[in-house]
Structure 1
């Protein structure tokens, strides 16, 4: 399985989620749910905007030398991805959380693939993935501290 196939799986999952129906209160092909500012077309635009960044998250993990370096790379890519999403959706937050989560998941997967094969990870039900996400995401607390200090 190559980088493009893994990144495409993230895109496929976002598309499957929005097309799943019915989802009372949420956007699906049958209804906008409680949302007046978004619909399936908005989600499709968002997915299209985010898609190129999923491969970049994975590649960052595959090539980073250290966890702090990987965190900074993921952060940089994530900010660009979010801007692209917001432009594509004309300011509507359709996938901010998914972008954040996929950044860490794909980055951590790439990081682990430096040391073991995808087959090994599958055989262990991806057990090492979540501790790797936690390790990489430690940098987020520093970002929140800085944000808190700016807002004080």
Structure 2
């Protein structure tokens, strides 16, 4: 990585790709502190070149929120995911799979924050969208259905 950084300047695509790949390895190794630092650097690069609403930027912000969630920093993850959700709707529209993914991730964090009613409402919306796109028998639809059923039981 150091050699590549010396060979290319600034936010070259090859360097950003290498950093993102390093992030995937760190994730698999469970080295979340290092992963957070790498993703933060990649995010800063993407934001400077593509802006906060760029598709790659949104993806990296989503990944960073997942790391915050895994590190039990739920409030921080929720803030990032709320921003990602708004930007994703603006970029792709209400029913786009990226929007549904952003909302599903937000709902997962909201459960851990303690905002279960809001999470249930978001999951209902996600479930409707995923059923329309993927069909009722898709594994993701089944998973969200189970998650929503559990959450409704918890709220009762």
TM-score by length of 1: 0.32
As a proportion of its length, which structure holds more helix?
2
**Higher RCO, Cα 8 Å, sep 6+:** 1
